[in-house]
Structure 1
Amino acid sequence: MPFNLPIALTWLRVAAIPLLVTIFYLPASWLSMPEKNALATALFIFAAVTDWLDGYLARRMKQESAFGQFLDPVADKLIVAAALLVLLNMDRVQVWVALVIIGREITISALREWMAQVGASKSVAVHMVGKLKTTAQLVAIPFLLFDGTLFGWLSAALIGTWLIWVAAFLTLWSMFYYLQKALPQLLGKSE
């Protein structure tokens, strides 16, 4: 397993997951709910920035590796799933949104594994719609975690709800895109 700065940043994102969850279980005497919200938001934004930064540095420093290409999307999926479960527990996100996003990740991960086994992994390689889906999720979740007022009047929860619905739509769109690309293999036909 290679170890370099981009992979270290990805591991930081993985390490942020239990911290993100733990914040909301700290006693109220340690942190008020607005303080927990702000801390969780800052931690999630840090993780989202490392998602961009680790890829950028890997390309820039010519340190791309198969392990890094494996770990990066796993870290993304884990932190998004953890944040969604925390938000679901606090009733800040709808069950259908969490099911769509987490269900898609499981489905496409399994599809990619199967497509690799049949030698057709290129047909389900990462596409722009998948990147848009990830970006939408990484932008929506901090608003839902913050759950306060912005600029004295703007509801972060309302903005986050609208953005997570957009993210859920993009999540479904990307799932159908990848399934359509894999359809010939799924039906037992070669392209």
Structure 2
Amino acid sequence: MNIPNRITLSRIMLIPIFIIILSVPFNWGEWQIGEDVLPITHFVAAIVFIIASATDWIDGHYARKYQLVTNLGKFLDPLADKLLVSAALILLVEMGIAPAWVVILIISRELAVTGLRLVAAGEGIVLAASNLGKVKTASQLVAIALLLLHNYPFSYLGFPIDMIMLYIALFFTVLSGVDYFIKNWHVMEESK
């Protein structure tokens, strides 16, 4: 297994740590941030999430730079993204930070695209992520990090950048999903 794929696997291994930090009732205290309170567990979870998110850029950059792009990497990288984003969004709904309907739409798109990828894989076709899909992922990661940080540092301004970014992420999620199905509909046609 090459280095980029190992980096991707490290992202997957960070997900249970992230979940435990947010799910187990650790009492690490809290910080007063503007009008809001930021539990230290949310801050630590945000750091773990940001580190895991950074591996998305690192593995892709390394794979392209050293021509280590593999079919396994094309499969694992988007899977790792979907697992990380889904875990974070579900926990944000549970904590009452993110609206459930937005999370349902985002996860539904992710499952639909994964289904299309599985159909393609059955036909011997590997579908790589598009540029629009990369914008979608980046906007999701930024939105989730801001939500975990309770909109810090923008909370001092009283401006809900975290929620604005979540809706921007939703827009790009839906748009990239539609684009992905339009560009790859031939896979569905060929699998009949």
- Give the alignment's TM-score, normalised by structure 1: 0.85
Segments of structure 1 that go 5 or more residues without pairing to the other structure are: none
**How is 1:59-138 mapped onto 2 (pairs within 5 angstroms)?**
59-118=64-123, 121=125, 125-138=128-141
Please list the CA deviations of residues 62-81 of structure 1 after superposition, one character each: whole Å capped at 9, or x if unmatched: 32222222111111110000
Q: 2:175 aligns with which of 169, 173, 178?
A: 173
- How many residues are matched? 184
Give 1:148 deviation, angstroms.
Answer: 5.0
Give 1:115 deviation, angstroms.
Answer: 3.4
Q: 2:39 aligns with which of 34, 45, 50?
A: 34
Q: Structure 1 counterpart of 2:180, which letter?
A: Y
Secondary structure of the 2:39 match is helix
Give 1:152 deviation, angstroms.
Answer: 6.7
Report what 1:159 is aligned to. Answer: 161
Over the residues paired in the alignment, what is the CA RMSD in angstroms? 2.4
Give 1:25 deviation, angstroms.
Answer: 3.0
Please list the CA deviations of residues 22-77 of structure 1 after superposition, one character each: whole Å capped at 9, or x if unmatched: 11234343454621111111111111111000111122233222222211111111
The whole-number CA distance in structure 2 between the counterparts of 1:149 and 1:47 is 19
Please list the CA deviations of residues 97-150 of structure 1 after superposition, one character each: whole Å capped at 9, or x if unmatched: 11111100110111122234356x47x642211111111111111000111541
**How is 1:140-159 mapped onto 2 (pairs within 5 angstroms)?**
140-147=143-150, 149-150=152-153, 153-154=156-157, 158-159=160-161
Give 1:12 deviation, angstroms.
Answer: 1.4
Segments of structure 2 that go 5 or more residues without pairing to the other structure are: 31-37
The whole-number CA distance in structure 2 between the counterparts of 1:164 and 1:151 is 14
Closer, same or farther: CA 95–65 of 1 in aligned 2, 3 Å: same
